[in-house]
A and B are shown apart, each in its own frame.
Chain A
């Protein structure tokens, strides 16, 4: 039993392998075509899914049916491929799947039969079942020579458009030559405008298929005799709208839209626009019979009959066409004479603003420069309008009050078919200050002085050349002259001198008294030395006289007053008054008395006594010389 089970398993596996190989050799194809709905309205779309699954080597040939009565708006294809390998197989088994998805838009009501999909694989042909789709809704108008007036509905390209019925064109300025694949259509909002009145022209491209590339313009529509203002942004995206023309669905692209202002009356023509449309795409593989890939198309020229402005009540002079108003302003009402002021006039309204021309105001005493003109053009609702500003620089050449006259503009309003005179307000300008000299005259010079740092677009105007010169030679500057610092410092120095001299004088005087005292002390010292000499010479009289003189001189120098006529008692009391210590005063008085006695005594004095006296005298002298007496009473 244990041996039987593996044998059975092996037999089964071999049997399966053999069946598989037999199946692989036989091509197998599965073809399906399905729709997400079979009944739909005109404004709906339907998705058709085609699935082809083939097993075996080789590539199946798939024939996609024509979708009569429908427009393909989207298609996609997927080709996943699968390889299978098995044990013992000579070649791999390939399973390929191709899936198409078409999104269709009905081009008209009715019941449409979608033929089956045919797939040829090897020698065999396979096919799917057919589909029947019912489209309900109103049919489009029968084919006409001119296309229907479009009623545009803006849609993104990826979205499904809605087919619409449109009324027949009424305006004679709507021209086109119908073509099943593509055609150009030119539409004018009016064909008999007045001279200078806005005519809005639009050029559309109608294409059966969604454009894969931007069409290449070979020739632009000529606009001779018009002043043209583009109304579409040059950077816009080419977004189509969907439209039904003669039962065919078209993608409509707005190629050009511009406002044309006829510059003269008579017959004018907006010429033909020629372009090339390329239809090449990656899906050409699935539509080999679609026709040529490049289409050349041209629009039909449109003729206009431009009427002259009505002569009734027409004012003399230039007339602009449109509805305008004028506003004027001054940046300053009062200026310095010679200074520039800006006078601005703004024309605002609808119409050809570039045709508006204001005459330069002429005011005596005011120099008016060429104006700076700025335009701000807008086109809301495809009507050209905006502002044109004139800015005049005015320079009053003399002081006074200037009245700026009202600016006028004659305009013809095509809506009311009447003429109108537009007038601005009067303004007053006051100039003050001295009049400009002729040397400084000129509009570009005054601002130079006022605004030297301005680096704007100002012309390089240099001052006038000087025709007279004193041809002066350099004179020495006052501050460089030698006498200038002397002059400058003389009085301060004199003042300092008056401050300092008295003090210096007093100090000098003080310094003089001090030197007399020093001289007296020096003299006293010399006398003591002389006394030493007298001692050696044993001249007692001279010795005592010198010692007494030295002591007395020193004492007088220190006290600052004479003491020669005083008695012993008077001297003692004076010394006490001046604060001399008692011991020193006693020693001094004793020495002086001893010297006096010895000078006039007949008794001889021994040298030893003289030596002792000299020693004591030197000691006392040094004490007296260093003595600082107190101030005298009453000093």
Chain B
């Protein structure tokens, strides 16, 4: 009798679970619904809820410049300017020609600098990336990759064509075309190299909390070497047990809690 009762209860429990799972898809939100709810929360000035909605989209695998842009604006309005900087940087990675994102990023950094200057009397504001990165900032990585491939094909097409050409004029023309294509190939290759961060160690990252501690070792008890400013650029060099070894733009190096830093390449 006991066995039968147990069996019946298990069957009932299984049915209940199945009914729950069956009912779940009916209540599930689509990605568009989440995006819309984030916008609605933003317009209600509920910036935290809006940020949460946009973050849900990103957690769901969405990598869209508009979502990052809205996330950045919501974070900025909520006062989390470091996270706003990170979101704007990610937006610009996906859409480098987004002037609004560029302006918002500059405004976020300027606001951070102003707040810091109000507290400390002075502050340095990061305005432009290094020259090499600034030169390629306006191009998408895929564009540079296609350019490199195209110039590569053009270069060797010219070289092969020279073998089957007898006319002196055609040979000269092909030589000039090959030289131009070779130079363009080298430039686009270098640009792609810089764009992918091959010239610098680690990954580009943003400090998310003002006064984030730079520890000597990946341990919260380790002595503190210094502090990083919110919204400052850094390079994430290594990860270990909840800490990231970073090198800040000022050259300071140390282990920072992984919650206090975010890499731009999400």
Contacts and interface: CB of A to CB of B under 8 A. Distances in A.
Interface majority SS (helix, strand, loop, mixed), chain B: helix
Nearest to B32: A471
Contacts of A460: 76, 107, 111
Contacts of A478: 141-142, 145-146, 149
Given A449-B102, A452-B106, A469-B35, A477 B141 contact: yes
Contact of B196 (A452, A453, A455, A479): A479
Interface in B102-125: 102-107, 109-111, 113-114, 117, 125
Interface residues of B, number: 51
A124 interface: no
B22 interface: no
B185 to A, nearest CB: 10
A68 B63 CA distance: 103
Contact of B149 (A454, A471, A487): A487
A581 interface: no
A488 B152 contact: yes
- With a 10 A CB-CB cut-off, give which of B39, B110, B113, B152 has the most chain A CB atoms: B110
Interface string A423-463: 00000000000000000100001001100111100101111
B49 interface: no
Interface string B141-180: 1100110110011011101100100000000000000000
A474 B125 contact: no
B99 A449 contact: yes
Nearest to A484: B145
B69 interface: yes
Given A449-B102, A460-B107, A491 B153 contact: yes
Given A452-B110, A468-B66, A479 B192 contact: yes
A467 to B, nearest CB: 6
A463 B100 contact: yes
How many chain A residues sit at the interface, stated as a range, is 20 to 34
B57 interface: yes
B141 A471 contact: no
B233 to A, nearest CB: 15
A478 B146 CA distance: 8
A455 B113 contact: yes
A455 B125 contact: yes
A500 interface: no
Interface in B25-82: 31-32, 35, 39, 42-43, 57, 61-64, 66-67, 69-70, 73, 76-77
B192 A472 contact: no
A470 B107 contact: no
Contacts of A484: 145, 149
A473 B61 contact: yes
Contacts of A469: 35, 64, 66-67, 70
Contacts of A471: 31-32, 35, 57, 62, 64, 67
Interface string A480-523: 00001001100110110010000000000000000000000000
Given A474-B63, A495-B156, A463 B110 contact: no
B125 A472 contact: no
A319 B151 CA distance: 74
B2 interface: no
Contact of A448 (B43, B70, B106): B106
Nearest to A453: B127
A479 B146 CA distance: 9
A62 B121 CA distance: 66
Contacts of A465: 39, 42-43, 70, 73
Contacts of A3: none
B73 A453 contact: no
Contact of A479 (B70, B127, B141): B141
Contacts of B109: 452
Nearest to A454: B110
3 tightest A-B CB contacts, nearest first: A452-B106, A491-B156, A469-B66
20 contacts: A452-B102, A452-B110, A452-B127, A453-B110, A455-B110, A455-B113, A455-B117, A458-B110, A461-B107, A462-B107, A467-B39, A469-B35, A469-B66, A471-B32, A474-B63, A478-B141, A478-B142, A478-B145, A491-B155, A494-B156
Given A445-B103, A460-B76, A473-B62, 14 more contacts: A449-B102, A452-B110, A453-B125, A453-B127, A458-B110, A462-B73, A463-B69, A468-B66, A472-B64, A474-B63, A477-B141, A478-B146, A491-B152, A495-B159
Interface of A: 440, 445, 448-449, 452-455, 458, 460-463, 465-474, 477-479, 484, 487-488, 491-492, 494-495, 498
